[in-house]
Amino acid sequence: MASPLDPAPLSKHKRRVLIVEDDESIALGLKLNLEAEGYWVEVAGDGDRGLGLARAGGFDVLILDVMLPKTNGFEVVRVLREAGETVPVIMLSARGDESDKVMGLELGAEDYITKPFGLAELLARVKAVLRRDGITRSRVEPVVEAGELLVNPNTREVSRDGDVVALTATEFEILWCLVEAGGQVLSREQILAKVWGPGHKGTLRTIDNFLLQLRNKLERDPALPDHLLTVRGVGYRFQR
């Protein structure tokens, strides 16, 4: 018989959340509220431990503070993405500077929330990230072929010349909304609304940065793209 002090067995249906936050009161508040929503939660108090846990895998989403002891949040994201880890990341920061938000997103974070924030907002962002990551996706879609690219919306995998290209959840979602448009031009505002939701207060520069990342990963020559095209003064479109 298990001891009363033993942790409860992890349900295979629970989504796993890793919180990396050195403010114990914030970390505890997030943990309790996420657990009340049915998530399984692990907490790390510094960047080194958080990075180690994240790299060990098994988490569905990472909530990551920027200002951390030992290794800061930006560096944690950079190391994870360079290692090919695609776990969705929501960054937290007391600094609301646009440059910080852009840096976090360019490094590969899916979302960026400025402190102080409401718990309802954070829970909504977690659900949105999980939805974008395909956790709740159940419909079967045809695989899209575009030259040397294969885009599989069911596995959320993209391959170029047969080699799988690692994309973050948000990178894939932006790519897929352009693919779904069937060659039509989408404005930055339309992409922002489709991927983050109509109530998201993001910047249009965010879309430009993500398209730059996608071109660097998917195009043979990012400076002369074949598929992710800019329509000046309007937005972007996907060409097969």
Name 229's bridge partners.
237
CATH topology of domain 144-238: Arc Repressor Mutant, subunit A (1.10.10)
Domain ranges of the chain: 16-132, 144-238
Name 170's bridge partners.
none
For residue 198, what pLDDT band results from cuts at 50, 70 and 90?
low
pLDDT in tens, 118-177: 888 888 888 888 877 664 444 456 788 988 999 988 778 899 998 999 888 788 889 999
> Alpha helix locations (H) across the chain?
24-36, 47-56, 73-82, 98-107, 119-132, 169-180, 188-196, 204-218
Could you say which of 3.90.650.10, 3.40.50.2300, 3.20.20.70, 3.40.50.300 is the CATH number of the domain covering 16-132?
Answer: 3.40.50.2300
User: In 3-state terms, what secondary structure has residue 5?
Assistant: coil
| Residue 164: φ, ψ to 5° | -70, 135
User: In 3-state terms, what secondary structure has residue 204?
Assistant: helix
For residue 10, what pLDDT band results from cuts at 50, 70 and 90?
very low
pLDDT in tens, 62-111: 999 999 999 999 999 989 988 878 888 999 988 767 778 888 888 888 88
